[in-house]
Structure 1
Amino acid sequence: MITVIGATGNVGRPLVAGLVARGARPRILTRDPGRARLVPGAETVIGDLDAPRCADALLAGADAAFVVTAGPDAAAHDRKIAAAVARHGVRRVVKVTSVAALPPVHDSYGAAHAAAEDAYLATGAHCTFLRPAAFMSNTLQWSWSVTGSSTVFQPFGDLPQAVVDPADVAEVALRVLDAPGAGGCAYTVTGPESLTPRQRAQRLAAALGRSLTFVDAPPEQARRAMTDVGLPPAYVDGLLASQSDPDPARGALPLPTVRDLTGHPPRTFTAWLAAHVDLFR
């Protein structure tokens, strides 16, 4: 049995669908009973990782676990999940971290992801880490300003990333979970081309058929916007430091990982836009 933590997210949803299509009945976690309807065919645990026994309920009897955690609480959640992996003798773990975890780590955001990898390795499970470049779905953060004022606000507008479709990360994870002998290492997962945020905004404008204004927002403005919605300042500082890292090894160089592990080329940003452009109208 496979436990999927993060099953209703951009990577987890297509992964669960793929597992169910292969005849598996994964166990998933959701805090919202209504969202369980989004993943028919799965065994659903209603709960929250902040609850004392939630991780145990998810991992008891599991042979493998797929884990995505996000946000300021991710580090604490990963410690709880890893401890439960060890207690229940889960044999395989596939964990999504970040290119920020590539050594040498330069910021607190990358350090948190690297610490999560260490925590899972310490369980004795056969661990595979997927370190994606920036997700194409992060572009949805622009929807409010695109629909409201035809403007994109984004810091570090000229730093490229080989943005990756979350569906490709899900398919890589599925291939690793399908083959018990595979994995056991860390994979950097990228899309097929390196694009700056400014270039992605130009692609979005073309898909919408209208012009957009791109504002290369100062980091201080981006920091204020994130802390104003309640994100902890220390978390925001680490995230911005990670986003400003110019090292091309941290997701800027397109790699063959998706093709090598799935047999098909990674999906393009243009294709992702075609599937999601109505969300920006």
Structure 2
Amino acid sequence: MILVTGATGTVGREVVRRLPADRAVRIMARDPSRISTAPPTAEVVRGDFTDPTSLTGALRAVSTVFLVTNQLGDDDARFLHAARTAGVRHVVKLSAAAVTDSGAQDLITRWQRRNEELLRGSAMQWTLLRPRSFMSNALSWAASIRSDGVVRALGASSPNACVDPRDIADVAVRALTEEGHAGRVHTLTGPQAITAVQQTAVLAELLGRPLRCEEWDPQQARTALHERYPPPVAQALLDSAHRQRQGAKAQVEAGVPALLGRPAGSFCTWARDHLGAFTGA
């Protein structure tokens, strides 16, 4: 039995879509009614990282897990304890490429490093997926593109080897269903580093309308992020943007083509497939 967590998220829902129909799959969600992509054969159960009883039920008879956590805190520790107790053999963990960057000392990256250490020390088999930023982060521009044809970004001219979440999901499914991934780390990027200015140009061409990219100054970015996130998280995101401006996120890795036997998906392809979000269709 494969257990998928994070199935309402960007990568998790793509994993659910891609798992083979002949595999026994269970999907854990805080609110099962939000699961809209589950195949008819999948079992959907309520589970909460903060509720040990629900974890015990979700993990019953499970051998392999796709683990996604996004709340700073101890969710990984609680889940890994429950998984080890339930006899889970293999955990495929969604982490982040920044964990290998010695210059990344922000709160979020330190949390991810600690979670990786917990998994490595859990006595279960493990696989770590370390993607660069998701191409789907561009969806945060959709409203301003629709309303006034503007992309507003911090570090608009700094490159990021962002990756299509569907590629991450394809790699995750390989790791969940094939032998040979235990004890391995897969760093996943797109085929090229691309800036927000270049992404804006791609979207303008696909939409057939002029768009402009406006650079946020640090104070504008700080104000906008503090309106959306708690101060420590906002600061972590500002620190991450600073590292990107220094070129820390421009390295292209061979993980996706090596694992999938095809080129990594481009931003142009991702944008074309999600163009409706930018038109309101």
What TM-score do the two structures reach when normalised by structure 1? 0.92
Q: Which of 72, 75, 78 is the matching residue for 1:77?
A: 75
Q: Which residue of 2 aligns with 1:151?
A: 150
Q: CA deviation at 1:258?
A: 0.8
Is residue 2:113 matched to residue 1:132? Answer: no
Following the alignment from structure 2 to structure 1, what is the Cα–Cα distance between the partners of residues 128 and 219?
Answer: 32
Following the alignment from structure 1 to structure 2, what is the Cα–Cα distance between the partners of residues 218 and 53?
Answer: 47
Following the alignment from structure 2 to structure 1, what is the Cα–Cα distance between the partners of residues 176 and 81?
Answer: 21
Structural mapping, 1:31-180, within 5 Å = 31-40=30-39, 41-70=41-70, 73-104=71-102, 105-180=104-179
Please list the CA deviations of residues 130-150 of structure 1 after superposition, one character each: whole Å capped at 9, or x if unmatched: 110110111001111111111
Q: CA deviation at 1:103?
A: 4.4
Please list the CA deviations of residues 172-211 of structure 1 after superposition, one character each: whole Å capped at 9, or x if unmatched: 1111122233241222100111101111111111111111
Q: Which residue of 1 aligns with 2:19?
A: 19
Helix, strand or coil: the match of 1:84?
helix
Amino acid at match of 1:232: P
Q: Which residue of 1 aligns with 2:240?
A: 242
Aligned residue-pair number:
276
Following the alignment from structure 1 to structure 2, what is the Cα–Cα distance between the partners of residues 185 and 17?
Answer: 24
Following the alignment from structure 2 to structure 1, what is the Cα–Cα distance between the partners of residues 202 and 101?
Answer: 32
Please list the CA deviations of residues 75-102 of structure 1 after superposition, one character each: whole Å capped at 9, or x if unmatched: 3222221221222231111111111211
What TM-score do the two structures reach when normalised by structure 2? 0.92
Q: Which of 259, 262, 266 is the matching residue for 1:261?
A: 259
Following the alignment from structure 2 to structure 1, what is the Cα–Cα distance between the partners of residues 194 and 241?
Answer: 14
Following the alignment from structure 2 to structure 1, what is the Cα–Cα distance between the partners of residues 150 and 203?
Answer: 11
Q: Which residue of 1 aligns with 2:276?
A: 278
Contact 1:20 1:42 in 2 (8 A): no
Contact 1:159 1:244 in 2 (8 A): no
Following the alignment from structure 2 to structure 1, what is the Cα–Cα distance between the partners of residues 111 and 181?
Answer: 25
Amino acid at match of 1:86: R
Amino acid at match of 1:60: R
Contact 2:84 2:122 in 1 (8 A): yes
Following the alignment from structure 1 to structure 2, what is the Cα–Cα distance between the partners of residues 54 and 219?
Answer: 43
% identical aligned pairs: 35
Contact 1:110 1:242 in 2 (8 A): no
Structural mapping, 1:1-16, within 5 Å = 1-16=1-16
Q: CA deviation at 1:245?
A: 1.0
Q: Which residue of 1 aligns with 2:230?
A: 232
Helix, strand or coil: the match of 2:243?
coil
Please list the CA deviations of residues 158-181 of structure 1 after superposition, one character each: whole Å capped at 9, or x if unmatched: 221111110100111111122233
Following the alignment from structure 1 to structure 2, what is the Cα–Cα distance between the partners of residues 118 and 143?
Answer: 37
Amino acid at match of 2:108: Y
Q: CA deviation at 1:55?
A: 2.5
Following the alignment from structure 2 to structure 1, what is the Cα–Cα distance between the partners of residues 132 and 121?
Answer: 25
Contact 2:47 2:55 in 1 (8 A): no
Following the alignment from structure 1 to structure 2, what is the Cα–Cα distance between the partners of residues 115 and 225?
Answer: 28
Which segment is superposed worse, 113-122 or 220-229? Answer: 220-229
Amino acid at match of 1:207: L
Segments of 5+ residues of structure 1 without an aligned counterpart are none
